[in-house]
Chains A and B, each alone.
Chain A
Amino acid sequence: MGFLAPWALAGIAAVGLPVWLHLLRKHKTTPLPFASLMFFERRTQSSIKHRRLQYLLLLALRAAVIALLAFAFARPFLQSRLAALAGGPKLTVLAIDNSFSMRDDDRLARAKREAAQVASTLRDQDKLEVLAFGSQVHVMGDSPAAIQTIEPTDTRSSYAELSRALRSIAQTGAQAARMPVEAHLFSDMQKSSLPANFADLRLGDGTRLVAHPVADRRAANFAVESVNAPRRVYGSGKARVEATIAGYGTEQAKRRVSLMLNGRELDSKTLDVPAGGRAVAEFLPADLPFGLNRGEIRIDSADNLPDDDRFYFSVERAEARRVLFVHEARNQRDALYFRTALEAAAESAYALDAVAVEQSANLDPHKYAFVVLSDVGTLPASFETALRDYVRAGGSLLVALGRESALRSRVPVFDEAVVEARYYGRDGALFQTAAWLDAGHPSIHNAQRWDDVKFYQAVRVNPGAARVAARLGDDTPLLLEKQVGEGRVLVFASTFDNISNDFPLHASFVPFIEHTANYLARQEEGPSNYLVGSYLELRQAKEQGAAVEVLDPKGARALTLDEATRAQNMPLAMAGFYDVKRPNGRHELVAVNADRHESDLDVISADTLALWQNTAQGQQNATAGGEAETPKPMEFWWYVLIAVLGLAVAESLLGNRHLTVDQAP
């Protein structure tokens, strides 16, 4: 309870007035001489005492009226949620850690048992909310039976994030308007799940947190911490697989490490893992088959948490991807420079097919990783149409503009107008340099290395809806990108032939070609492996495109038909391999692993846990008087005024009986 105008309580001092009138003033009455008390009797004292009692009642009524009046003017209020904590209905939130580490021993079972015990103590008017949290928070239900529906096979939650769980509890509490929240957290309280800042564990006002640790000590655990393997191996190249084995709270031990490929053990090694340390095993599988391969590193840990004893990775052996390079027949230099740069950088990842524009009429661009149009003038209509279809379906196109292409009114497929061809001259300082570069663009790896590149000629293109990644000194767009359908088109406003610029002679040319090729061929997109609970991007454009086909590790379709055509991304719910077939026909194998933060089963110390709870409690108290989080105070001054009115009526009746002036007989 509090007061909105506490200064009004000073009015209670006015209670002294009736006290003075009734007690002090009366006692000062001077005795009145009378001829004889012969006809007065001692028993009249009782009448006086009775009168005094009535006067005391009158005094009490008057004092109460004044005190309550001052009390009402002080505008008392009740913190309804805090007040309700004692006896009113409350919302009990049972948040159960369902992360990867809870599979150790019987932690999850113990958490569920303790949660069931808490649920059994609830009263009829209390509400219940059962949450399961890991990297995600899932509402399981609002009945005690929901506790039992939390299964360890639910692999959607790998890494327990306490802060996320508490945020969800706070949101649940905020939705429970005017109802106190009692949150019970059942978790193994891993150190790794604790955020760096206790402030992230802030609870809402009126929420009381009770922590139920289900793990008392640190359990020893071996895990495959990470695997470093190439996503693709081209031609006859060899794949080098490096696995890091970590021991968390373990003694020094020997562990056998195996390399599995497509379910078959290819190689194994025995490692000496130091106490609480790491050891690295290296494999060079010789007979890596062509195509997508399901790789796996396993150890024989013999601990209680076997799920982190394996690590999935995918590796693809493929032929070098073909790149179609279309150029004017009389210009061979640009193909030479481009091929040289491509072969130097990408280690046989790409094979360039240089074709004169006149021979391109019957070419099918779909079999190429990407297509380059190097300063071409007129394209055969059939090829241009095929090229446009190819890009819309997800293909990529690089257009270099020079003298020939400047004659066109529009850039092919890019569909933006060519404004003019600009000649800067080779003499003196007439050339232009790249004045502005977008370092965030995948093609421009290191902007500083473009500083010395001289541009003597450039074709100015209206950017339109395209993204400008680089500009020359005269503000002419040098590199533009535009999304067309599912595909992407890059326009380089100069050539690769060492005539319009000296770019091919600079060290930055090879990285530029390499990054651009990988970007256009979508070779580097996405991480090499994913964590359970993360999201896989399915398509770039927001427009509805062709269906994406995804098979989960169990071989079932992960998406419905509608999701396959509309979804921008999808959650990776379990560890294993996801088979993804994209609309452009590309086939990917996505390896998904549990978060290795969960492998360290070290628990939060009791002191830290107490400190955390105190911090949360202190925050709760601190925000109790806050503005945004504070529930509306329930004022009840009008009830006090009603009481004052009732007392005033009683005072009038009582006072009227005894304070009337005696009438003369």
Chain B
Amino acid sequence: MLQRFLDPATLASISGLDLVAKTVVDGFIAGLHRSPDYGFSQEFAEYRAYTPGDDLRRIDWNVFARSERLYLKRYRGETNTQLLILLDASASMSFGSHAVNKLDYARFLAASLCYLAHAQRDAAGLIVFAEDVQNYVAPSARQGQLFRLLHAIEKAQPGIRTDFAKPFVHFLDFTRRRGLVVVISDYYERPETIVKTVEPLRFRGNEVILFHVLDPQEIAPQFREPVLLTDMETSGTLEVSPEYARGEYRHRIDSHIQALRDQAKGAGLDYFLMDTGRPLDEGLREYLGVRQGRM
């Protein structure tokens, strides 16, 4: 496995999300995931000796003719998994303390996932939401789907604020098939509310993955003097001392992350913290490793 940790700033310098996604994904192993069942796909997987009870239709008679032994021909089953990406484009996602803000990072991530799904020939869809649903690309595996997705991701602009409840009502309508649901957000909401909102997707048999995108400055603020902070969503201001940011705030944000992780785990959701200061492929690799380990 080729290790290519790509700096987010480097990715930001690449024009076009397709190139970004390709650059990120090409370094990975070819498959995003495999079907848990061997089916009638055209892709050969292996031969296995016949055992009584096996379906006779899967016996490779050509092999029997040559070797007079019964072998079953096994193919990799073709998946019908559907990937739906929910991209938070609220105002808070436009915060960034370095070259790549959270929304850009989320775009890279979403584009990479779409590229992976396309390579897997999975049907992929996208919902961009903030206070309301901004854009929706219905999941599909048809030709040109990738470009539609990348275009929608490209067009995603910071909205005003995040409201999980309202867009998720629509999500339930959009997701009629079982599949993989990826929610990319900074989750500035109470963990219970988030999990409670997202949980119904899980109940419908979807695999739900929560990508928690945060800027390093949000995780561990570095203030040298008291600063006047403006909330990017509510426009409220607050004067914050370095001592508070160094102590109380970090305690609170850590508690929030931990609570979200715990409650997601409890609800059967996958949770991954994506620090925009870390390379995107590193985060993806970690995610894929977890996914493969689960399969």
A positions within 8 Å CB-CB of B: 29-42, 44-45, 47-48, 51, 661-662, 664-665
The one of B102, B232, B239 in contact with A48, judged by C-beta atoms closer than 8 angstroms, is B239
Residue of chain A at shortest CB distance from B214: A35
Given that A35-B186, A36-B188 are contacting pairs, would A51 and B95 also be in contact in the complex, using a CB cutoff of 8 Å?
no
Question: From A37, which residue of chain B is reached at the shortest CB distance?
Answer: B231
Q: Is the CB of B92 within 8 A of A40?
A: no
A34-B95 CB under 8 A given contacts A44-B240, A44-B244: yes
Q: Which residues of A contact B188 (CB under 8 A)?
A: 35-36, 38
Nearest 9 interchain pairs by C-beta: A35-B95, A35-B92, A39-B252, A34-B229, A36-B188, A37-B231, A31-B230, A31-B228, A48-B239
A45 to B239, CA, bound (A): 6
B218 within 8 A of A: yes
- Which of A30, A31, A35, A48 gathers the greatest number of chain B CB atoms within 10 Å? A35
B77 CB within 8 Å of chain A: no
Given A36-B188, A39-B249, residue A664 in contact with residue B230 (CB < 8 A): no
Smallest CB–CB gap between A327 and chain B, Å?
A: 125
- Contact yes or no, A48 B241, CB < 8 A: yes
Q: Is the CB of A665 within 8 A of B220?
A: yes
In the assembled complex, the CB of B268 is this many whole angstroms from the nearest CB of chain A, namely 26
Interface residues of B, dominant DSSP: mixed
**Contact at B249–A35, with CB atoms within 8 Å?**
no
Chain B residues whose CB sits within 8 angstroms of the CB of A32 once the complex forms: 227-230
Most buried by A among B224, B236, B239, B242: B239
Which B235-282 residues sit within 8 Å CB-CB of chain A? 236-244, 246, 248-250, 252-253, 256
Residue of B nearest to A661 (CB): B224
Interfacial chain B residues near A33, Cβ < 8 Å: 95, 229-230, 232
Quick one: which of B93, B222, B234 contacts A664, CB cutoff 8 A? B222
**In the complex, which residue of chain A has the Cβ closest to the Cβ of B215?**
A35
CB–CB B246/A662 < 8 A = yes
**Smallest CB separation, A19 vs chain B (Å):** 18
Task: Please give me the residue from chain B that is nearest to A665 by CB atom.
Answer: B220
Inter-chain contact A665/B246, CB cutoff 8 Å: yes
- Is the Cβ of A29 less than 8 Å from the Cβ of B244? no
**Which chain A positions have C-beta within 8 A of B40?**
none
A39 touches B246 (CB 8 A): no
Partner of B238, one of A42, A51, A661, A662: A42
Smallest CB-CB separation from B102: which chain A residue? A35
* 20 A-B pairs whose Cβ atoms sit less than 8 Å apart in the complex: A31-B230, A33-B95, A33-B230, A33-B232, A34-B95, A34-B229, A34-B232, A35-B186, A35-B215, A35-B218, A36-B233, A37-B236, A40-B240, A44-B238, A44-B248, A45-B238, A45-B239, A48-B241, A51-B226, A662-B222
The answer to whether A29 and B241 have CB atoms under 8 Å apart is no
A34 touching B246, Cβ below 8 Å: no
B64 at the interface (CB under 8 A from A): no
Q: Which residues of B contact A29 (CB under 8 A)?
A: 227-228
A661 CB → nearest B CB, Å: 6
Expressed in whole angstroms, the Cα–Cα distance for A34 and B239 within the complex equals: 12
Given contacts A35-B102, A35-B218, A664-B222, whether A51 and B232 have CB atoms under 8 Å apart is: no
Closest B residue to A34 using CB positions: B229
Instruction: Contacts A31-B228, A44-B248 known; list 6 others, CB within 8 Å.
Output: A30-B228, A31-B229, A34-B231, A44-B239, A47-B244, A48-B240
